[in-house]
Amino acid sequence: MLRSMSDLLAHLNPPQLAAVTLPAQHALILAGAGSGKTRVLTTRIAWLLSTGQVGPQGILAVTFTNKAAREMQARLAAMLPINTRGMWIGTFHGLCNRFLRAHHREAGLPAQFQILDSADQLAAIKRLLKNLNVDDQKYPPRELMHFINAHKEQGIRAAQAEAYDHFTSRRVELYTEYEAQCRREGVVDFAELLLRSYELLLRNEPLCRHYQARFRHILVDEFQDTNRLQYSWLKLLAGRGSVAPENEGACLFAVGDDDQSIYAFRGAEIGNMRDLQREFELPNVIRLEQNYRSHGNILDAANALIQQNRGRLGKNLWTDAGAGEPIRVFEAYSDADEARGIVDEVAELVRDGVSRDQIAVLYRSNAQSRVLEHQLFTQAVPYRVHGGLRFFDRQEIKHALAYLRLIANPDDDTAFARVLNFPTRGIGSRSAEALQEAARQANCSLYNAAASLAGKAATAVTRFVRLIESLRGETSDLPLPELIDHVLEKSGLRQHYLAEKEGKDRLENLDELINAATGFLREESEPIVDGEVAPENGPLASFLAHAALEAGEHQAGQGEEAVQLMTVHAAKGLEFDVVFISGLEQGLFPHENAAQERDGLEEERRLMYVAVTRARRRLYLSHAQTRLLHGQTRYCLPSAFLDELPANLLRRTRRGGIGVPPGARQNADTGGQTPATAGLRIGQSVRHARFGVGVIVATQGSGPETRVQVNFGAAGMKWLALEYARLTPA
């Protein structure tokens, strides 16, 4: 039995009710964060069905994730006694797959066509380049994949692609060859699903009119995330494309929030919302502004921030839940100090009864997780990296550590095998197998077995062995951060990721590895206690052991309560009682790349808006005066976004030592000198464990950043960081 109309529409506020019960017409619902847009969408479908305006077969509902589609189906099944599985509810890719399965002949596809996921597509492109003898250094497979997909998402086939130079012209040729390879093999990639569906509807007018007549109501979630091709596909089905419907077209009901458009890098077009208003001649926009998630102070801050953007459709979030607590803003001395303060506060919140699952720490860049993870590890706080890998589990970090392990121990077969052909250096699987067999027969390491190889395999493998030997020799006297920097450069890792379109995050992580080494040395530079034996294996082996220990455990297990770590992008659609937004500094958030991109700063502000509106009850904003970058200390300016927040909503605090340089309290007893600098001056003779006796000739920096230049005679002039140099008066 159908639920009564009053039951169905109960608990809707007036704007939600207006949206749900709109007559059959095109509409744009501007739904703010936490305003109940999923409820509105689902209830709209249930209302259309229960009032007999349309049957289940006449509904087309589009979401952006499979999870959202399943949630919508579950809610509908709870509202109405219908089988939702037969309804067309799903993602763009899922619905297009369903359409092409039904019409594979018309689409020119085999009945059992296979879908390439991202990994499969990359493998297919690598195979294509190899078959065509194309240099994959000049035309990196991943970059070519992005080139192809970007054109498809714009509705551009290889035949229509424009090329203004030889390099682009060659990429277009490879796009043509890729299309031919996919046709031969009967496969389609994700972008092809939508493009093939759109093209079929465009050229087959009877089929297009059939679906225009079938779907009377088209409902779209997260409309601000649509790209140009997705919007064109929707317009075509709604009767506003080049194929006119026989009768009146379907009603397009779009729900979205232009203030949460943060996926321009994926091709999302924020302009689609304005185009929808103009092209569908929408008389008005229904705004859902009542927020059911956050307290008033959080919403007021979010409103003040986003009002700085131009060209918004405009809305103002509000709540009847009360103002709540002020937003806490704290300034740290350094990034390590910031992480320490955040984790201290997390521990206090947990003691006060807040569930760790309801605490999220957000950051703009993936690389920022490292210093946070380290502090959580140090204080034994269970955590989980949402939507990504822990720092030491990331591919680029594992590759870098493998090179470092080989410098420390060339007989490490696991490390040897990992980077033998990464970056690619012409060592195929056969050569690797021959090397492994030689090592097995001689009962020795892969490194030692290399000398016994012959032929083509021997040349490439020997070249790799020489690379490792040269790295060992060139780095023997370098401080640990410089050693890592040198290895990243000479191994080719940096160059490899520079060639990737999305290699920026990986490069930032590699730089963060240098920072990790710098921080490790600072932490390990405490004087050796009487009776304790100094490690013989040096800082590299100690750092590798430290990295292995941090990588090996401490991420929370399945079902265990844990603090949530994630980028702001990964946080979209989620909500937590307590949210920390870290690293609010110019160049970091907003990101320095924003200044070079059209409307880049506005997208960064929308990203900040998304971050702020994830918090239900308590919000922390933090920034640091200094931050390690490439192993060097960078002095930071607070993010301009902090100045855009009303001062009356903020409470500036310095909890857990935040804002106090490490060791400041101890320095009071030494007249402003740190323990490391006490008693040392220019002209003084000092002793170093490796370089022997020398004379201090210059100083630079202050506090924990102090460096001295020492003339060690035969060993030459050296700049040393006092925190870990362990200099003693001679």
**What are the φ and ψ backbone dihedral angles of 503, each rounded to 5 degrees?**
-80, -5
Tokens of 607: 């990203």
Task: List, in sequence order, the alpha helices (H) in 330-478.
Answer: 335-351, 369-378, 395-408, 413-419, 429-442, 446-449, 455-474
Active site residue 222: yes
Tokens of 253: 């009901």
Helix (H) or strand (E) holding 703: none
Give the C-alpha separation, 480 to 469, whole Å.
17
Q: How far is CA 422 from the centre of its chain?
A: 23
Helix axes 228-237, 271-279, angle to 10 degrees: 20
Among candidate residues 16, 37, 44, 585, the one labeled active-site is 37
Among candidate residues 21, 38, 176, 308, the one labeled active-site is 38
Give the C-alpha separation, 412 to 414, whole Å.
6
In 3-state terms, what secondary structure has residue 282? coil
Active site residue 260: yes
Q: How far is CA 724 from the centre of its chain?
A: 34
Give the C-alpha separation, 20 to 597, whole Å.
38
Among candidate residues 221, 412, 512, 723, the one labeled active-site is 221
Give the C-alpha separation, 338 to 336, whole Å.
5
Active site residue 522: no
Rg, the chain, Cα only:
30
Active site residue 212: no
Longest Cα separation, the chain:
96
Other beta carbons within 10 Å of 724: 18
Q: Mention every residue, 6+ apart, whose C-beta is less than 8 A from residue 24.
A: 53, 216, 217, 251
Q: Would you state the torsion angle of the CA atoms of residues 236, 160, 600, 570, taken in this order, to the nearest 10 degrees?
A: 60
**Is-contact 682 699, C-beta < 8 A?**
yes
Give the C-alpha separation, 313 to 591, whole Å.
25
Cis, peptide link before residue 479, omega less than 30° from 0: no
Give the C-alpha separation, 181 to 192, whole Å.
13
Active site residue 38: yes
Kindly list the distances between the CA atom of residue 26 and the CA atoms of 159, 183, 282, in Å, as whole numbers in the listed order: 35, 38, 7
In 3-state terms, what secondary structure has residue 66? helix
Could you tell me how many residues make up the chain? Answer: 730
The residue among 720, 583, 701 whose CA lies nearest residue 633 is 701
**Is-contact 284 584, C-beta < 8 A?**
no
Active site residue 614: yes
Q: Measured on CA atoms in the order 495, 497, 503, 509, is the torsion positive or negative?
A: negative
Among candidate residues 222, 258, 337, 602, the one labeled active-site is 222
The one-character DSSP state at 529 is P
Task: List, in sequence order, the alpha helices (H) in 66-163.
Answer: 66-79, 92-102, 104-107, 118-131, 141-153
Give the C-alpha separation, 527 to 530, whole Å.
9
Q: Mention every residue, 6+ apart, whose C-beta is less than 8 A from residue 508.
A: 365, 366, 367
Terminal Cα distance for the chain, rounded: 93
Among candidate residues 235, 394, 494, 614, the one labeled active-site is 614
Give the C-alpha separation, 203 to 225, whole Å.
27
In one-letter notation, the amino acid at residue 5 is: M
**Is-contact 408 447, C-beta < 8 A?**
no
Among candidate residues 42, 260, 475, 626, the one labeled active-site is 260
Give the C-alpha separation, 105 to 83, whole Å.
29
Could you give the residue numbers annotated as active site? Answer: 37-38, 221-222, 260, 614
